[in-house]
Amino acid sequence: MRKPLDHTPTPQEKPEDNLDAAMDMVAETISPTRKVSVSGDESPSQAQVIIRTTEEERERWKSAAAASGMSMSEWIRDIVSKSASAKLECQHPANMRKVYPWSETCLKCGKRIRG
């Protein structure tokens, strides 16, 4: 016999709630889509940087990250890493370098590439 739609269960008729069990089963079968490691050596990320920003700017960054198919933290790490490389590493072409077996130096900016 079907119960009417407006039927409220009594305490003895506790409805069966298997949502938690179903979510646990789903969680066991899926693999994470985001990397735990953020560097090339596959070590897990442990350091944290907190950035204060306006809500509008945060939403703008979030939209840009989504448009790039990345999480906002991945997107920020990518941009900051590229900017750091441009500032700290020589960006000049290889033909502007003096190369020895023991070292390599940029003739344009004077930075020592290796050695």
- pLDDT of residue 12 exceeding 70, the answer is no
Quick one: 98 exposed, middle or buried, by C-beta within 10 A (0-12, 13-18, 19+)? exposed
Distance from the Cα of residue 71 to its chain's centroid: 5
Return the minimum-mean-pLDDT range out of 12-16, 87-91, 101-105, 107-111.
12-16
- Confirm if 96 and 107 have CB atoms less than 8 A apart: yes
d(CA 40, CA 24): 32
How many Cβ atoms sit within 10 Å of the Cβ of residue 90?
Answer: 19
Identify the residue whose tokens are 């009417």: 4
- pLDDT of residue 7 exceeding 70, the answer is no
Distance from the Cα of residue 7 to its chain's centroid: 47
Q: Which stretches of 10-71 are DSSP H helices? A: 19-29, 55-67
Identify the residue whose tokens are 């790039």: 68
**Mean pLDDT in the chain?**
81
User: Span 86-108, mean pLDDT?
Assistant: 86
